[in-house]
Amino acid sequence: AQSVSQHNHHVILSEAASLELGCNYSYGGTVNLFWYVQYPGQHLQLLLKYFSGDPLVKGIKGFEAEFIKSKFSFNLRKPSVQWSDTAEYFCAVNAGQAGTALIFGKGTTLSVSS
């Protein structure tokens, strides 16, 4: 069965610090990879996605993620965080076939102090 691991449960940063959130998945076949964000009081929103091609993908709000197939990883990065990035971040994966469920990691809470 597929699984997703997010190594950091809670990350605390100051504004302008760089961010990297780890995500590893277990699945041997073709996968689709996603990062979602949940701001306080809001619904889950898509940050970025990877299906194929360039392993470095760019999303909204200056976020990017790199797919490293050999490491089964899809880490999220941002060069300089802002207070408004305070949120919970979820990595998710599904097998590259129709009808397969999107499996989420348990999330990482990011707190950014101004």
Partner 1 sequence: KAGVTQTPRYLIKTRGQQVTLSCSPISGHRSVSWYQQTPGQGLQFLFEYFSETQRNKGNFPGRFSGRQFSNSRSEMNVSTLELGDSALYLCASKEPGVHSPLHFGNGTRLTVT
Q: How far is the CB of 16 from partner 1 (least distance, A)?
A: 29
Is 105 a binding residue for partner 1 by CB under 8 A? The answer is yes
Site map (CB under 8 A) of partner 1, residues 16-45, x = contact: ----------------x-x-x-----xxxx
Residue 19 CB contacts under 8 Å (≥ 6 apart), including other chains: 11, 13, 76, 77, 78, 81, 85, 110
Dihedral angle of Cα 81, 84, 90, 96, to the nearest 10 degrees:
-80
Residues that bind partner 1 (CB under 8 A): 32, 34, 36, 42-46, 49, 51, 90, 94, 96-107
